[in-house]
Amino acid sequence: MSETFARPGFGTKIRADGYYAQINAILTTLRHTASQRVIADHLNSQGFRTPRGLPFNRARLANYLRGVST
Protein backbone atom coordinates (compact mmCIF):
# COMPACT_ATOMS: atom_id res chain seq x y z
CA MET A 1 0.00 0.00 0.00
CA SER A 2 1.42 3.39 -0.93
CA GLU A 3 1.94 6.13 1.64
CA THR A 4 -0.76 8.23 0.00
CA PHE A 5 -3.46 5.72 0.86
CA ALA A 6 -1.96 4.28 4.04
CA ARG A 7 -3.93 4.65 7.26
CA PRO A 8 -2.40 7.00 9.79
CA GLY A 9 -0.90 5.46 12.90
CA PHE A 10 -2.81 5.54 16.16
CA GLY A 11 -2.73 9.04 17.63
CA THR A 12 -1.27 10.68 14.54
CA LYS A 13 -2.80 13.50 12.55
CA ILE A 14 -5.03 12.54 9.64
CA ARG A 15 -4.47 15.74 7.65
CA ALA A 16 -1.43 17.88 6.88
CA ASP A 17 -0.44 20.62 9.34
CA GLY A 18 -1.63 23.35 6.94
CA TYR A 19 -5.19 22.04 7.17
CA TYR A 20 -5.21 22.38 10.96
CA ALA A 21 -3.65 25.86 10.75
CA GLN A 22 -6.40 27.07 8.40
CA ILE A 23 -9.22 25.58 10.48
CA ASN A 24 -7.75 26.94 13.72
CA ALA A 25 -7.36 30.44 12.22
CA ILE A 26 -11.05 30.45 11.30
CA LEU A 27 -12.00 29.15 14.74
CA THR A 28 -9.90 31.78 16.48
CA THR A 29 -11.67 34.50 14.50
CA LEU A 30 -15.24 33.24 14.87
CA ARG A 31 -15.34 31.26 18.12
CA HIS A 32 -16.28 34.12 20.47
CA THR A 33 -18.84 35.76 18.17
CA ALA A 34 -20.65 32.90 16.40
CA SER A 35 -22.42 29.70 17.41
CA GLN A 36 -20.93 26.31 16.61
CA ARG A 37 -23.65 25.75 14.02
CA VAL A 38 -22.77 29.02 12.24
CA ILE A 39 -19.05 28.17 12.33
CA ALA A 40 -19.74 24.68 10.95
CA ASP A 41 -21.81 26.17 8.13
CA HIS A 42 -19.02 28.66 7.36
CA LEU A 43 -16.38 25.90 7.24
CA ASN A 44 -18.57 23.84 4.90
CA SER A 45 -19.20 26.85 2.65
CA GLN A 46 -15.43 27.35 2.38
CA GLY A 47 -14.99 23.71 1.29
CA PHE A 48 -13.52 22.38 4.52
CA ARG A 49 -14.40 18.93 5.84
CA THR A 50 -13.57 17.21 9.12
CA PRO A 51 -10.21 15.44 9.28
CA ARG A 52 -12.04 12.24 8.28
CA GLY A 53 -13.65 13.92 5.26
CA LEU A 54 -17.18 14.48 6.57
CA PRO A 55 -19.04 17.78 6.41
CA PHE A 56 -18.89 19.82 9.59
CA ASN A 57 -21.96 20.05 11.81
CA ARG A 58 -22.34 21.29 15.38
CA ALA A 59 -21.44 17.95 16.98
CA ARG A 60 -18.43 17.32 14.73
CA LEU A 61 -17.17 20.84 15.37
CA ALA A 62 -17.55 20.29 19.11
CA ASN A 63 -15.53 17.08 18.81
CA TYR A 64 -12.86 18.90 16.81
CA LEU A 65 -12.69 21.61 19.47
CA ARG A 66 -12.18 18.91 22.11
CA GLY A 67 -9.34 17.48 20.06
CA VAL A 68 -11.27 14.50 18.74
CA SER A 69 -11.31 14.02 14.96
CA THR A 70 -14.52 12.43 13.72
Q: Where are the domains of the chain?
A: 35-70
Using a cut of 0.75, tell me whether the model's pTM lies above it.
no
Give the model confidence (pLDDT) of 2-49 as tens digits.
444 444 444 555 667 788 899 999 999 999 999 999 999 999 999 999
pLDDT at 13: 57
Q: Characterise 17 by phi-psi region: left (phi > 0), alpha (psi -120 to 50), beta (else).
A: alpha
Nearest CA to 20 out of 44, 57, 48 is that of 48
Single-letter amino acid, residue 60: R
